Structure 1
Amino acid sequence: MTSQTTVEKAPQEPEDNAVPAPVKGLRGHPWLTLFAVAIGVMMVALDGTIVAIANPAIQRDLGASLADVQWITNGYLLALAVALITAGKLGDRFGHRQTFLIGIAGFALASGAIGLSSEISLVILFRVLQGLFGALLMPAALGLLRATFPAEKLNMAIGIWGMVIGASTAGGPIVGGLLVEHVSWQSVFFINVPVGVVALVFGLVILRDHRAANAPRSFDVIGILLLSSAMFALIWGIIKAGESWGWGDGRTWAWLASAVAAFILFGVWQNRVREPLVPLKMFRSVPLTAGVILMVLMAFAFMGGLFFVTFFLQGVHGLSPVDSGLHLLPLTAMMIVSSPVAGLLITKFGPRVPLVGGMVFTATAMFGMTTLSESTGTFTMSLWFALLGCGLAPVMVGATEVIVGNAPLELSGVAGGLQQAAMQVGGALGTAVLGAVMSSKVSADFAGNWKDAGLPGQADPALEKAAEFGMVPGELGQAPGMTPDIAARIGGVIHDTFMSGMGLAFTVAGVVAVIAALVATLTKRGENAEAGAGVGHI
């Protein structure tokens, strides 16, 4: 961290300094600060996956179309990705405590509004608001940790922070399944209200406002508009390509081209404006740039791969949502165990070796999951899921430390937003690209598998579509002229075709993870962290 000397001007609004002073009492206590921000971060991370389990119930209750249901998730991710960097800048300018508390309150209120909604359009609208408020609190949480913890404790804190995100993301299907099955789909959202109240109370009592002495005082409105437009065009193009347009559609490439143009304009403007939204000099740091790329590639492999795992468990193995979530417990458990351990290793040895090792583990798990089949037992699945959790934890912690630690202290909020935006872009890109890989493989193999199974005529296109998800239609057995033997063979074709597509998708994810391991060799500990290493205490 930079060695600035600052003076505390007021008890609740001290300026950041490189070495946090020892704290007495509750307000500003580092570990209590970590606990307070973890509650809010848990809500946002949980909502990224918990809603997937509730979608079928929402569709039935509100009479929504498939596109409507997809936008329950896409609207949330789109708003989150578009607003993250700007939200980080708000924290740098006005204080991370304020933006975090506003984010908590808004997220909880939007969640309650979704639970009270009786129309699908209102659900989507309030999900977008959820994403916007979630964007406020995520980078603010990192900014608070960076300003509160001394350098030698920061990696451990970020490790626990990453553990909360990983566990919440992976635990979403379990929590969602329990709530939907035993309460209602509305409870998936209502649960955020009391959690938000607890987070708000803890935040008001414990969090201390931190502001860097040389934080920019002006606001780059044009930069915000250009960056938001670029992020929107990029994520919109990716989502629509995977959802309906396809990657060969001119509309997909028109949106992606407009995103590139907007990013170029944004870069030109940032070099001209006096106080830029994202100073491009940040990217002169090779480790910081490598950390951002690494986060995109990691999320590509992880989120894209996890998407197919849930369909594999529910479609091919016929598990319930709750049982599917329980089968993912090895992944969750290893992320919980490995994240603080990764923080200790990174503190002792630096981030490069743990990051490279983490991506090698991730690649090995991805290649290993290409061997999954309908006959694969729980023990074998658990081994690959556990290895994936071991691989992801060091990357979640290390890439965050590399990005935030290599940024100037006064831009810690922007760096936190950049880290989260990279993760959202990578996740959306992974889901869309691997979805396209799956779709093309299914289209190429389905007719041949149908013929090899000795089935007459040509298959109904709806059955080929079902093969993309590995789900045998429930009404198949009631179709006219359908015998148990034919139904069994059709089910086998659907599962075999899905497995071949999933295998190719995991192969692509594994290759991406290998590339990420090579990128990780360019990372190193943040210079700001090194400057403060060994100083300060908690």
Structure 2
Amino acid sequence: MSATTGPAAPGSATAAPAPTRSVRARTLACSVTGAAVVALDGTVLTLAQPALQRDLHTGVAQVQWTSTGYLVAVASLLVLAGRLGDRHGHHRVFALGSLGFAAASAGIALAPGIGTVVLLRILQGVCGALLQPATLGMLRTAYPPDRLTGPIALRTAAIGLAAAAGPLLGGALVSAYGWRSVFLLGVPPTLAVGLLALTVREPRRTDPARARAGGDPLGALLLATALGLLVHGLVTLPHPGAGGRAAVTLAASAAAALALVRHERRAPHPLLPPALLRSRPVAAGLGALLAASAALSGALFVTTYFLQEVQRLDPLDAGLRFLPLAVLMVLGALGCPPLQRRLGPRRTALAGGGLLTAGVLVLARLDTGAGAVATGTGAALLGAGFVTLMITATAAIVRHAPVEHAGVAGGLQQTAMNTGPAVGVATAALLLALVPAGGFVPAHGAALPVLALVAGLTLPAALALPGASGGPGDGTRPSEARRSRRPFCVRS
């Protein structure tokens, strides 16, 4: 396949040939598989933790660190990992993260004690942070902006399938082969796509700014500290007697964030590019994803406890009540690209935010006699709304990020998606503790009504998204829109 290049603008990077179909196919396979494996890993671990605790003769607090350590490592390093992809190539960073993830997973399956498991889970989190932003950064460099929605939708559908299959697959594996088998599950696919990513050569760019990218070690340290302390504080906040410790941790996170803002304003080559942060679609998309993921995770947390502690359903029956959520996530991911082409990002995101808010409100009405239809309806609305909002907001973030900052944009998107659930669950657990009269019955408590307000925050964020893809509503000049659709020229 031949490729031609257009003339380079003065002072810009040298134009690179457009990726071939083979490169795009391999990139899409790596992106979809990597994102799905990370989603699957999180869901299967939850079911493996009780067996892990019994087998290694350890306490609940130590087992909890198998999740907390991973989350802190991921949240701390996502943006830095994205910047490394911008500097050294997203396929290389993805390969490093995938191969490291496979090695850490295999090591956990062979671990002799809980200390080794926790350390390897932290290493797995570091590797997960390397590969997650790259799954979006690779797509941004392989596809023109007006063709990103389809690959992102396919990636999201794979995440939905993995999240849906995780509890069933994890339960079956733990029952038949023990907890170690769930960690072996992710080794073959991550090993395969890590090696596949090494076969893709990214074009070299001579942009001096790209060569200097990533040269902000103090900014990287401050951001990692702020995000790590934030996630750790949110995770420990709901624990009995941990309120004071969590408050100190969150205060330290705020102090690190303020120091980061001050430093980034003065840094010659900041970790967080000002042009990216000033982009209205990028900021709106990040806000929508943060609110949506917080509302979804908090609602699922409350409803799961309601089904198992109040209605006394076993884990499998409770999981089946949420099956409509997984089904609508997959169907919604497939239907979102044509919907977005018809309605534009703004109206599509508004529809998704409205469905998500309605789903939380339906679940907020559940009482002790609620049946499968009521729960399934709320779950279906959650799934349809969340996936629509996630694809639309993610496409807006990635599309409006310059190619040279694609990794940072992917890191920020993943940071929102990882921080939101911690905020949502912490909010729900805190409200359940403050309003104990209703127990875990949603209709008698305050948790889900508050989370409905959080879901409603996605609506003003959606209003700030472009009105049409590539049109005047997204702030792109017609000449720029035409250049973005050139099939044989990729500018940086």
> TM-score, normalization: structure 1?
0.82
1:510 maps to amino acid: A
1:518 equivalenced with 2:469 (yes/no):
no
Q: 2:99 aligns with which of 105, 118, 121?
A: 105
Once the two structures are aligned, what percentage of the paired residues are identical?
36
1:136 equivalenced with 2:78 (yes/no):
no
Distance 1:161 1:208, change over 3 A: farther
Q: Paired residue for 2:343?
A: 349
- Distance in 2 (CA, whole Å) between partners of 1:270 and 1:4 is 35
Q: Unaligned regions of 5+ residues in structure 2, if any?
A: none
Q: Paired residue for 1:54?
A: 48
Q: Paired residue for 1:536?
A: 487
Asked if 2 retains the 8 angstrom alpha-carbon contact of 1:328 and 1:382, the reply is yes
1:235 equivalenced with 2:186 (yes/no):
no
Asked if 2 retains the 8 angstrom alpha-carbon contact of 1:367 and 1:506, the reply is yes
Q: Paired residue for 1:469?
A: none
1:243 maps to amino acid: H
Q: Paired residue for 2:318?
A: 324
SS in 2 for 1:276: coil
- Distance in 1 (CA, whole Å) between partners of 2:40 and 2:14 is 30
- Distance in 1 (CA, whole Å) between partners of 2:307 and 2:45 is 17
**Cα distance, 1:415 vs. partner?**
0.5
SS in 2 for 1:111: helix
SS in 1 for 2:20: coil
Q: Unaligned regions of 5+ residues in structure 1, if any?
A: 8-14, 446-495
1:507 equivalenced with 2:458 (yes/no):
no
Distance 1:5 1:222, change over 3 A: farther
Q: Paired residue for 1:393?
A: 387
**Cα distance, 1:121 vs. partner?**
1.5
Asked if 1 retains the 8 angstrom alpha-carbon contact of 2:41 and 2:186, the reply is no
Q: Paired residue for 2:180?
A: 186
- Distance in 1 (CA, whole Å) between partners of 2:395 and 2:336 is 11
Asked if 2 retains the 8 angstrom alpha-carbon contact of 1:212 and 1:409, the reply is no
Matches within 5 A, 1:165-244: 165-205=159-199, 207-210=200-203, 213-214=206-207, 215-218=209-212, 219-244=215-240
Q: Paired residue for 1:416?
A: 410
Matches within 5 A, 1:289-438: 289-438=283-432
- Distance in 1 (CA, whole Å) between partners of 2:143 and 2:36 is 20
1:6-54, CA deviations, whole angstroms, 9 ceiling, x for partnerless residues? Answer: 79xxxxxxx8969x73625x3x1x2442122211111111122221111
The structure with the larger Rg is: 1
Size of the alignment, in residue pairs? Answer: 470
**Cα distance, 1:380 vs. partner?**
2.7
Q: Paired residue for 1:23?
A: 20
1:23 maps to amino acid: T
Distance 1:227 1:95, change over 3 A: same
Deviates more, 1:518-527 or 1:141-150: 518-527
SS in 2 for 1:498: coil
2:451 maps to amino acid: A
> TM-score, normalization: structure 2?
0.89
**Cα distance, 1:245 vs. partner?**
4.5
Asked if 2 retains the 8 angstrom alpha-carbon contact of 1:297 and 1:512, the reply is yes
Indicate the RMSD between aligned Cα atoms, in angstroms: 2.5
- Distance in 2 (CA, whole Å) between partners of 1:176 and 1:281 is 43
Q: Paired residue for 1:476?
A: none
Distance 1:365 1:438, change over 3 A: same
**Cα distance, 1:336 vs. partner?**
0.8
Distance 1:501 1:90, change over 3 A: farther
Deviates more, 1:279-288 or 1:74-83: 279-288
SS in 1 for 2:210: coil
Asked if 1 retains the 8 angstrom alpha-carbon contact of 2:362 and 2:377, the reply is no
Asked if 2 retains the 8 angstrom alpha-carbon contact of 1:84 and 1:139, the reply is yes
Q: Paired residue for 1:117?
A: 111
**Cα distance, 1:399 vs. partner?**
1.2
Distance 1:530 1:327, change over 3 A: farther
1:307-346, CA deviations, whole angstroms, 9 ceiling, x for partnerless residues? Answer: 2333333333444434433332211111111113212322
Asked if 1 retains the 8 angstrom alpha-carbon contact of 2:73 and 2:125, the reply is yes
1:278 equivalenced with 2:272 (yes/no):
yes
Q: Paired residue for 1:160?
A: 154
- Distance in 2 (CA, whole Å) between partners of 1:141 and 1:87 is 11
1:296 maps to amino acid: L
**Cα distance, 1:132 vs. partner?**
0.7
Distance 1:401 1:362, change over 3 A: same
Asked if 2 retains the 8 angstrom alpha-carbon contact of 1:37 and 1:203, the reply is no
Segments of 4+ moved more than 6 angstroms: none
- Distance in 1 (CA, whole Å) between partners of 2:19 and 2:84 is 27
SS in 2 for 1:359: helix
1:475-508, CA deviations, whole angstroms, 9 ceiling, x for partnerless residues? Answer: xxxxxxxxxxxxxxxxxxxxx6221488522211
Distance 1:312 1:88, change over 3 A: same
